[in-house]
C-alpha cells in the first residue's frame, strides 16, 4: 500500500503519467488499472440506524501514451453507484515536455490539491478523513504548466471550474489552482496549494491546502491543514494527522485522527479516529481492514468497519 501512494503523489507533483504497474501493448501504448471491492458497516447515532454494504466500488482502465516529448493519458472509470452501468471518461490529457523540468498539460486532469488520494489505490485506509465538508477535489478541464527539479516544484492551472467543472472555459466562471512543493530531504515533502473559483453569481470560493509527509525508517508521517471559504454560510477548516507503520515488508498499520470544523451553524465539529491494518498479498493484490469512529459532539457518533480488496494490473 505504501509504495502505491508514494508513486501516485510523485505523479501528481511532477505531472507525468506514472502508475504502479503497466502492461505494454505497443512501444507507444500501455495500460494499467484496478478493481476495488469492499464490505462495510455503519452504525449511526445521528440517524439511529445501522447499514451494511457489499460493493464493487470502482473499476478503472487507464491508457498511457508515450511519444517521446509528448505523453498522454486516458482513464475510463466505472463506479459501483453508476446507474448507467457504463465506463465514464475520468480524465484525458496530453503533456508536452520542454525539457529542463518544464512541461505543459491540456485536457481533463486531476487536481493537485489534497494529501489523501482521489483514487483508492493511493489511500492508506478505506475512508477519507473529513465527514462534514467534502473538500476532495476531483477532475476538471483546462491547461496547466509545471516546473520543477529534485528540490522544488511549481505549477499554475487554469480550469473550467475547480469544484463544478462543466467542460467549458468560455464563460467568466473559471477556476485557478496554484501549487508549490518542496523536498527538503530524502523522503520529506512539503506542499502548499491554493484553489479559487471566480463566480458570476454568489461568492467566490477559496481553498488553501497545506500538507507535509515524511518517511523515516518504516514509518510515514503526514500532517494536513485545509482552510476553505465558499461563502458566508460555508466557511471552515480541517486538520489531519496520520502515521503509517510498516510491520513487515508486506504489512503495515495506519493510525489517523482528523477534525472537521465549520465556522458557521454554531461552529459544528467532527473528530474522527481511524485504525487500518493492510497487507500486500502479492504485487497485484492488497487487502485492508478499517475501524473508524466519528464524534459529532452532542449530535452523537458514527462507528464504521470496512474490509477492502484492491487488485491492480
> How many domains are there within the chain?
1
pLDDT score recorded for residue 48: 84
CA separation for the pair 89, 73 (Å, rounded): 11
Q: How confident is the model at residue 66 (pLDDT cuts 50, 70, 90)?
A: very high
pLDDT score recorded for residue 186: 94
Average pLDDT of the residues of the chain: 90
297 vs 212, more confident: 212
The parent domain of residue 28 ranges over 2-312
- Phi/psi region, residue 192 (left: phi>0; alpha: psi -120 to 50; beta: rest), is beta
pLDDT of 14 > 70? The answer is: no
Q: What angle do CA 296, 299, 305 make, to 5 degrees?
A: 55
Q: Which three cell numbers stand for residue 121?
A: 489505490
Q: What are the C-alpha distances in Å from 60 to residues 119, 121, 131, 215, 265? A: 10, 11, 25, 29, 39
Q: Which three cell numbers stand for residue 253?
A: 498499520
157's enclosing H/E stretch is strand 152-159
Residue 269: count of CB within 10 angstroms of its CB: 14
Q: Which three cell numbers stand for residue 37?
A: 471491492
**Cβ neighbours of residue 204 closer than 8 Å, sequence gap 6 or more:** 196, 197, 198
CA separation for the pair 213, 186 (Å, rounded): 11
User: 108 pairs with which residues across the strands?
Assistant: 92, 141
Q: Which three cell numbers stand for residue 143?
A: 491547461
Q: Which three cell numbers stand for residue 182?
A: 518542496
Q: What are the C-alpha distances in Å from 51 to residues 54, 70, 89, 265, 303? A: 10, 48, 31, 27, 11
Residue-wise pLDDT for 171-202, tens only, equals 667 899 999 999 999 999 999 999 999 888 88
Q: Which three cell numbers stand for residue 145?
A: 504548466
pLDDT of 83 > 80? The answer is: no
Write down the residue that cell numbers 464490505 correspond to: 39
CA separation for the pair 249, 215 (Å, rounded): 15
The one-character DSSP state at 85 is -
pLDDT of 102 > 50? The answer is: yes
pLDDT of 87 > 70? The answer is: yes
Helices (H), 20-70: none
pLDDT of 6 > 50? The answer is: no
pLDDT of 223 > 50? The answer is: yes
List Cβ<8 Å contacts ≥24 apart for 66-70.
66/27, 66/28, 66/29, 66/30, 67/28, 69/96, 69/97, 69/98, 69/99, 70/94, 70/95, 70/96, 70/97
Residue 265 belongs to domain with CATH number: 2.40.160.10
Write down the residue that cell numbers 483514487 correspond to: 119
170 vs 75, more confident: 75
Residue-wise pLDDT for 123-173, tens only, equals 999 999 999 999 999 999 999 999 999 999 999 999 999 998 877 766 667
pLDDT score recorded for residue 4: 41
CA separation for the pair 100, 281 (Å, rounded): 39
Amino acid at each position: 500500500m505504501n509504495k502505491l501512494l508514494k508513486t501516485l503523489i510523485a505523479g501528481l507533483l511532477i505531472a507525468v503519467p506514472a502508475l504502479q504497474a503497466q502492461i505494454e501493448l505497443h512501444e507507444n501504448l500501455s495500460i494499467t488499472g484496478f478493481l476495488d471491492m469492499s464490505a462495510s458497516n455503519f452504525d449511526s447515532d445521528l440517524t439511529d440506524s445501522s447499514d451494511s454494504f457489499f460493493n464493487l466500488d470502482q473499476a478503472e482502465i487507464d491508457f498511457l501514451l508515450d511519444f517521446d516529448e509528448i505523453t498522454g493519458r486516458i482513464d475510463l472509470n466505472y463506479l459501483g453507484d453508476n446507474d448507467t452501468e457504463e465506463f465514464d471518461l475520468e480524465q484525458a490529457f496530453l503533456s508536452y515536455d520542454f525539457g529542463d523540468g518544464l512541461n505543459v498539460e491540456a485536457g481533463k486532469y486531476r487536481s493537485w490539491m489534497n494529501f489523501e488520494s482521489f483514487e483508492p489505490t493511493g489511500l492508506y485506509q478505506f475512508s477519507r478523513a473529513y465527514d462534514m465538508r467534502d473538500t476532495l477535489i476531483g477532475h476538471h478541464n483546462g491547461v496547466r504548466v509545471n516546473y520543477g527539479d529534485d528540490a522544488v516544484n511549481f505549477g499554475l492551472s487554469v480550469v473550467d471550474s475547480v469544484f463544478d467543472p462543466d467542460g467549458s472555459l468560455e464563460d467568466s466562471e473559471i477556476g485557478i489552482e496554484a501549487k508549490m512543493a518542496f523536498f527538503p530531504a530524502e523522503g520529506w515533502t512539503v506542499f502548499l496549494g491554493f484553489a479559487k473559483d471566480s463566480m458570476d453569481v454568489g461568492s467566490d470560493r477559496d481553498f488553501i491546502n497545506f500538507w507535509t509527509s515524511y518517511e523515516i525508517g518504516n514509518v510515514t508521517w503526514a500532517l494536513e491543514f485545509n482552510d476553505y471559504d465558499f461563502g458566508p454560510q460555508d466557511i471552515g477548516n480541517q486538520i489531519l494527522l496520520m502515521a503509517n507503520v510498516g510491520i513487515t515488508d508486506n504489512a503495515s498499520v495506519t493510525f489517523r485522527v482528523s477534525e472537521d470544523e465549520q465556522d458557521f451553524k454554531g461552529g459544528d465539529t467532527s473528530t474522527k479516529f481511524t485504525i487500518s491494518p493492510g497487507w500486500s498479498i502479492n504485487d497485484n493484490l492488497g487487502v485492508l481492514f478499517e475501524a473508524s469512529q466519528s464524534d459529532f459532539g452532542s449530535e452523537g457518533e458514527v462507528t464504521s468497519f470496512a474490509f477492502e480488496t484492491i487488485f491492480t494490473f
